[in-house]
């Protein structure tokens, strides 16, 4: 039968011709189009000069650690349950004895006002509004007191690098305690700075070193330069001014002699909660349990220190199994979506932290961009929980996630090479052989599942 046609009337067409009201605010317009953190990253790259963008986006050496961490989150399978009433979903619980609206917070990041002139104030105020913690870095570019003043009712954490000058380090700790910060986040994976090759190639330094390439790259990004040149000159909130590359600065500061005994001493100086950040093997996690810290953060520093380091997300199940009853297990590195956060909680993490995901939002639009990043992650967390068939974080468990293996350890005669195998094949009686065997044993323990 022939298709019957007719001329449409106005009443037929009117519902199909609803035009969207144009938004004349350019920043709001571009941020509203960002549906993922990767969308914010693209906006950030267009609006930020290469050197500060690469400082945020890059990691150490060949950047394998960061790539593997992100791949690990992609290589999971969610296992949902059906026919559950998920009309209401609770996305928060207690972390370190106080409530959070979501199981993630903003990680400590250095040089933040280099990314955008609003810097740490944008992060702290956005976090307070969202009901999540904000961690200020020792290398922050806004003072301890100014961050607290900007977000007086937020949960403010202070991240500590132990410097060679112990007295100055502990002076910062005292200032944070006096300002009302409730948690000390001690970062322990920085005996020296990692080899961040993008920064070396870009000449990333404080203050910025202008080259012809720098100027050419800045021409299409006038807003960044206007903000940079018309706001307070960039300096470290906790340091004297420095002239040189970032890596050179870090190497002059970080103390390679810090031990567990020093960590115990630091813990005794702090009146609030203590979390140790940078744990990368089960043995160290057990030692920290004996030390009595309140939490640990499984982290390889966002891939910015040792390249080819263990993947925190892969290490998580074993650490939870061994010491999960001793203290809270937190996680960072590679998190780019709410689904990554839900998967981490399902495998036993109490809390996660975002660094680059927050900074992409900051570079894309200052405080508004950070708000958008946090909103995207919150929406993704809630949607993922509903699709899994759970009403609360407490209902998430390992049965909801399967970690798929992309890389597995190389086997010899069907078994992974062990440290004992290596030791038995070496000549005995030499210091070199003993050191080599010990190093291999440490690597075996540190890698957890030995899965990249």
Helices vs. strands in the chain: H and E counts, helices first? 20, 16
Interatomic CA distance for residues 51 and 58, integer angstroms: 10
- Helix, strand or coil, per DSSP, at residue 143: coil
Are 408 and 451 spatial neighbours (Cβ–Cβ below 8 Å)? yes
- Residue 194: phi and psi, rounded to 5, are -70, 160
How far CA 148 is from CA of 128, 275, 276, in Å, comes to 11, 20, 22
Place of tokens 């990249």: 452
Most distant pair of Cα atoms in the chain: their distance: 96
| Angle at CA of residue 261, ends 256 and 266, nearest 5° | 85
Residue 441: enclosing H or E segment and its boundaries? helix 431-446
**153 is an active site residue:** no
Are 38 and 286 spatial neighbours (Cβ–Cβ below 8 Å)? no
As given in the structure block, the two tokens for residue 345 are 């909680």
Burial class of residue 98, CB neighbours in 10 A (0-12, 13-18, 19+): exposed
Instruction: Select which of 116, 301, 314, 400 is catalytic.
Output: 301
Interatomic CA distance for residues 16 and 21, integer angstroms: 15
Instruction: State the virtual CA torsion across 200, 204, 207, 213 in degrees, nearest 10.
Output: 110
Are 272 and 177 spatial neighbours (Cβ–Cβ below 8 Å)? yes
How far CA 158 is from CA of 118, 137, 311, 394, in Å, comes to 19, 6, 25, 28
Per DSSP, the residues of 66-93 read HHHHHHHHHSEEE----S---SS-B--E
- The closest of 33, 45, 31 to 360, measured between CA atoms, is 45
For the annotated catalytic residues, the residue numbers are 301
């Amino acid at each position: 039968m022939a298709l019957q046609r007719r001329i449409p009337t106005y009443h037929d067409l009117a519902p199909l011709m609803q035009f969207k009201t144009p938004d004349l605010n350019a920043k709001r317009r571009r941020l509203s189009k960002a549906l993922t953190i990767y969308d914010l990253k693209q906006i950030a790259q267009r609006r930020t000069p290469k050197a500060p963008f690469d400082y945020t986006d890059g990691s150490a050496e060949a950047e394998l650690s960061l790539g593997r961490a992100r791949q690990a989150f992609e290589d999971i399978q969610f296992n949902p349950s059906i026919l559950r009433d998920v009309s209401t979903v609770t996305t928060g619980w207690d972390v370190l004895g106080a409530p959070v609206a979501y199981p993630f917070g903003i990680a400590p990041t250095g040089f933040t006002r280099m990314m955008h002139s609003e810097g740490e104030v944008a992060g702290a105020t956005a976090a307070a509004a969202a009901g999540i913690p904000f961690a200020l870095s020792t290398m922050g570019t806004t003072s301890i007191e100014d961050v607290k003043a900007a977000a007086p009712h937020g949960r403010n954490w202070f991240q500590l690098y132990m410097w060679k000058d112990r007295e100055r380090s502990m002076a910062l700790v005292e200032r944070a305690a006096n300002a009302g910060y409730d948690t000390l986040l001690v970062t322990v994976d920085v005996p020296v700075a990692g080899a961040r090759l993008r920064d070396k190639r870009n000449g990333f330094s404080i203050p910025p070193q202008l080259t012809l390439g720098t100027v050419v790259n800045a021409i299409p990004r006038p807003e960044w330069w206007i903000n940079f040149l018309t706001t307070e000159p960039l300096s470290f909130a906790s340091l004297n001014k420095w002239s040189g590359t970032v890596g050179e600065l870090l190497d002059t500061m970080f103390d390679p002699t810090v031990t567990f005994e020093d960590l115990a001493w630091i813990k005794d100086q702090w009146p609030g909660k203590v979390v140790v950040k940078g744990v990368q093997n089960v043995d160290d996690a057990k030692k920290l349990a004996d030390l009595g810290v309140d939490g640990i953060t499984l982290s390889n520093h966002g891939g910015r220190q040792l390249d080819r380091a263990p993947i925190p997300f892969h290490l998580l199940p074993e650490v939870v199994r061994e010491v999960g009853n001793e203290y809270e297990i937190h996680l960072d590195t590679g998190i780019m979506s709410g689904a990554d956060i839900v998967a981490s909680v399902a495998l036993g993490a109490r809390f996660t932290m975002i660094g680059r995901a927050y900074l992409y939002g900051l570079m894309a639009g200052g405080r508004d961009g950070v708000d958008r990043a946090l909103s995207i992650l919150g929406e993704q967390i809630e949607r993922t929980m509903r699709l899994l068939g759970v009403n609360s974080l407490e209902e998430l468990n390992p049965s909801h996630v399967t970690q798929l293996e992309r890389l597995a350890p190389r086997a010899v005669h069907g078994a992974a090479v062990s440290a004992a195998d290596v030791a038995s094949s070496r000549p005995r009686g030499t210091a070199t052989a003993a050191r080599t065997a010990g190093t291999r044993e440490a690597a075996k323990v540190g890698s957890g599942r030995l899965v990249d």
